[in-house]
Copies of this chain bind each other. A is one copy, B any other.
Amino acid sequence: MFAEMLAVTETCHTVHIDLGDRSYPIVIAADLLGQAATFAACPDAAQAVIVTNTTVQPLYAAQLQAALAGKYRQVHTVVLPDGEAHKDWQTLNLIFDGLLQQGCDRKTVLFALGGGVVGDMTGFAAASYMRGVPFVQVPTTLLSQVDSSVGGKTAINHPLGKNMIGAFYQPQLVVCDLATLDSLPQREVAAGLAEIIKYGPIADMAFFDWLEAHIDALRQRDRTALLQAVRRSVEIKAWVVGQDEKEAGLRAVLNFGHTFGHAIEAGMGYGNWLHGEGVGAGMVMAAHLSQALGLVDAAFVQRLTRLIERAGLPTRGAVLDAADNAGAYLAHMRVDKKAEAGEIRFVLIDGPGKAVVRAAPDALVRRVIDTCCAQGVGIQA
């Protein structure tokens, strides 16, 4: 199916996320966010609020504001500080303050304009403000276009854990404007590619083949390649989420690379490693663990590692604690949301193209961590 798809030269594609009365479309194309037509089907209300951050606001807020001005009597903007380090209650409260100071009612529509942090926070604010108002996502990073745009996961961090406080809450519409990727730092393009690469080993090795052939085009932000990569990633994620909206089982496979990756992010202090960088190194570690358990061979691990490297991502984990590095990883992984009663649930590759979620002996995990980590890697800023 994916091979056929590639024969078509598209400039715009819509993926329909089917979740019953919480269904919504994801529109993918260049130059969408400045057009009123993009938002014609959004819910009616007197007020709309654009939530963005200090980096994205000067680039795109005026365009979006203009596109919404005909539909909403008032369009306010709330500007948050940029970065994962601000994905906390204090910053979330800036959104609530803005909504209440403007007298926003429960029909007010929130527009998340920015990357994953803005999307996650705006989504949680929308889920919680007056117990729920509609929201629209306008993701402006590659990572958020392929990842947080599907699945309805919203959250903020707690000092003791990432994404610990949040809600499952679906947007009304997601607008992936490929033109916004032109302004993205190269490091963030690579971070987005980590979540795209992920879909190969867990679900679709034909897509993985295609990625091997197009990784350079993607790094160069070729729009035809980006449209196909975003489209296929979103399709696979939508299929998985459609099976398991609340993460009771299958959906956990989307966290391939994330258990190790979250440990790196948390251990290094949020914001030092990008999420996608943690996932990059984390996928290599999870692949090694899969190999140690006899699920994949060394050739597969090498092939995955090579693609992650070509994407510009770290392929080795950071050393979190020089005295007991494996212990530091294990401590972080035990508070992961997938853990149950202290037992870490790893997403492993059970043969190329198929993921499985299972526990692993501590001794084996320690060996993989010792093999896969190196001092001073990963940060390429």
Inter-chain contact A334/B103, CB cutoff 8 Å: yes
A166 at the interface (CB under 8 A from B): yes
The residue in chain B whose Cβ has the minimal distance to the Cβ of A155 is B131
Most chain B CB inside 10 Å of its own CB: which residue of A132, A341, A342? A341
A89-B89, A93-B89, A167-B167 given; A130·B337 CB < 8 A: yes
A340 at the interface (CB under 8 A from B): yes
Inter-chain contact A341/B46, CB cutoff 8 Å: yes
Inter-chain contact B167/A132, CB cutoff 8 Å: yes
Inter-chain contact B246/A160, CB cutoff 8 Å: no
Chain A interface residue count, CB cutoff 8 Å, equals 38
Point out the residues of chain B lying under 8 angstroms from A132, CB to CB: 167-168, 246
CB distance from A216 to the nearest CB of B (A): 37
Which of A62-70, A94-102, A280-288 is found at the contact surface with chain B? A94-102
Extra contacts besides A103-B334, A132-B246 (9): CB < 8 Å: A100-B158, A105-B339, A105-B340, A127-B167, A128-B128, A131-B247, A131-B337, A132-B168, A167-B167
- The list of the 8 closest CB pairs from A to B, nearest first, reads A100-B160, A46-B341, A130-B337, A131-B166, A128-B165, A105-B340, A131-B168, A131-B167
A129 at the interface (CB under 8 A from B): yes
Point out the residues of chain B lying under 8 angstroms from A246, CB to CB: 132
Cross-chain contact of A100 among B130, B154, B167, B335 (Cβ < 8 A): B335
Inter-chain contact A335/B103, CB cutoff 8 Å: yes
Point out the residues of chain B lying under 8 angstroms from A127, CB to CB: 167
Inter-chain contact A101/B160, CB cutoff 8 Å: yes
Point out the residues of chain B lying under 8 angstroms from A131, CB to CB: 153-155, 166-168, 247, 337
A62-90: CB near B (< 8 Å → 1, else 0) gives 00000000000000000000000000010
The residue in chain B whose Cβ has the minimal distance to the Cβ of A334 is B103
Inter-chain contact A105/B167, CB cutoff 8 Å: no
Name A329-378 residues within 8 Å CB distance of B: 334-335, 337, 339-342
Q: Which label, helix, strand, loop or mixed, suits the secondary structure of the A interface?
A: mixed
Point out the residues of chain B lying under 8 angstroms from A219, CB to CB: none
Point out the residues of chain B lying under 8 angstroms from A103, CB to CB: 334-335, 342
| Chain A residues close to B by CB (< 8 Å) | 46-47, 89, 93, 96-97, 100-101, 103, 105-107, 127-132, 153-155, 158, 160-161, 164-168, 246-247, 334-335, 337, 339-342
Point out the residues of chain B lying under 8 angstroms from A128, CB to CB: 128, 165-167
Q: How far is the CA of A93 from the CA of B165 in the complex (A)?
A: 10
15 interchain pairs (CB within 8 A)? A46-B340, A46-B341, A47-B341, A89-B93, A96-B164, A96-B165, A100-B161, A100-B164, A103-B342, A105-B341, A127-B167, A129-B165, A130-B164, A131-B153, A131-B166
The residue in chain B whose Cβ has the minimal distance to the Cβ of A166 is B131
CB distance from A54 to the nearest CB of B (A): 23
Point out the residues of chain B lying under 8 angstroms from A46, CB to CB: 340-341
Q: How far is the CA of A101 from the CA of B160 in the complex (A)?
A: 8
Q: How far is the CA of A247 from the CA of B107 in the complex (A)?
A: 12
Q: How far is the CA of A168 from the CA of B128 in the complex (A)?
A: 9
Point out the residues of chain B lying under 8 angstroms from A129, CB to CB: 164-165
Point out the residues of chain B lying under 8 angstroms from A334, CB to CB: 103
Cross-chain contact of A337 among B89, B101, B106, B337 (Cβ < 8 A): B106
Q: How far is the CA of A189 from the CA of B248 in the complex (A)?
A: 42
Point out the residues of chain B lying under 8 angstroms from A166, CB to CB: 128, 130-131
Point out the residues of chain B lying under 8 angstroms from A340, CB to CB: 46, 105-107
Point out the residues of chain B lying under 8 angstroms from A341, CB to CB: 46-47, 105, 107
Q: How far is the CA of A47 from the CA of B89 in the complex (A)?
A: 26
